[in-house]
Amino acid sequence: DVKVTQSSRYLVKRTGEKVFLECVQDMDHENMFWYRQDPGLGLRLIYFSYDVKMKEKGDIPEGYSVSREKKERFSLILESASTNQTSMYLCASRVVRDQPQHFGDGTRLSIL
Amino acid sequence: RKEVEQDPGPFNVPEGATVAFNCTYSNSASQSFFWYRQDCRKEPKLLMSVYSSGNEDGRFTAQLNRASQYISLLIRDSKLSDSATYLCVVTSGYSTLTFGKGTMLLVSP
């Protein structure tokens, strides 16, 4: 079974802090993704990476950056956290294009 | 027109009923299609891929209609445990994946 692990299930941070969300997959998948999910808005793609050191902006990249130094790990960074970044963050990976994604458990992030 | 549209529901059905959801997409170049299930406050989990010829997995049947640009999910003999939100996903191109906002299903005793 594919295992996608997110570093925290719940996280509380303060406005202005730099926040790191980590995601690790154990299946040698090439593509990795970060989403946020908010009520009524569905899943929205923040960034994705199709290979090590590669990244592309998704639909809502503002206020976020990412890092993929190793194939198995994809990090999402909130440069200066704001209250409107309170959300459920989901990491996903897939083998290659046209294959389904597999999701981590999600991180519920609250910015106070 | 939104890229991927689903009726948000909720669909309220009794146990044992048959229920069907549709998902329409706007990009005719879309290539891959999937159905996911998401329980409350949990991550989406892959339910099934959708193939051009249609496919079945137990009580679940998925179909693709390219001419009318929609995919469907049919659930037969609904169980209480089928209560969840069902998301459709459409991919086109290397990076473009679009999720629908989901259809909520509530199965009652």
Instruction: With beta carbons under 8 A apart, name residues in chain B contacting A99.
Output: 32
Average pLDDT value for residue range A63-80: 97
Q: Is A39 on the interface with B (CB under 8 A)?
A: no
Q: Is A105 on the interface with B (CB under 8 A)?
A: yes
Average pLDDT value for residue range A67-73: 96
For the record, the structure tokens of A104 come out as: 């981590």
Residue of A nearest to B96 (CA): A58
Given a cut of 60, whether residue B1 has pLDDT beyond it is: no
Rounded distance between C-alpha atoms, residue A59 and residue A61, angstroms: 6
- By Cβ distance, the residue of A43, A56, A102 closest to B99 is A43
Sign of the CA dihedral A89, A93, A97, A101?
negative
Choose among B67, B107, B64: nearest CA to B84: B107
Choose among A10, A20, A36, A14: nearest CA to A82: A14
Give φ, ψ of B82 to 5 degrees.
-80, -10
- By Cβ distance, the residue of A43, A102, A105 closest to B46 is A102
* pLDDT confidence tier of residue A79, bands split at 50, 70 and 90: very high
Given a cut of 90, whether residue A96 has pLDDT beyond it is: no
* pLDDT confidence tier of residue B38, bands split at 50, 70 and 90: very high
- By Cβ distance, the residue of B43, B49, B100 closest to A100 is B49
B36 to chain A nearest CA, in Å?
A: 10
pLDDT the model gives residue A98: 81
Given a cut of 70, whether residue B94 has pLDDT beyond it is: no
Q: Say yes or no for a CB contact (<8 Å) between B46 and A100.
A: yes
Answer whether the bond into residue A61 is a cis peptide, omega within 30°: no
Give one DSSP letter per residue of A44-88, joined into a string.
EEEEEESSTT--EE-S--TTEEEEEEETTEEEEEESS--GGG-EE
Q: What is the mean pLDDT of chain B?
A: 93
Given a cut of 90, whether residue A97 has pLDDT beyond it is: no
10 Å Cβ neighbour count for B46? 15
A54 to chain B nearest CA, in Å?
A: 12
Interface of B with A (CB under 8 A): 31-32, 34, 41-46, 49, 87, 89, 91, 94-95, 97, 99-102
Average pLDDT value for residue range A76-89: 97
Lowest mean pLDDT across A26-30, A88-92, B11-15, B83-87:
A26-30
* pLDDT confidence tier of residue A5, bands split at 50, 70 and 90: very high
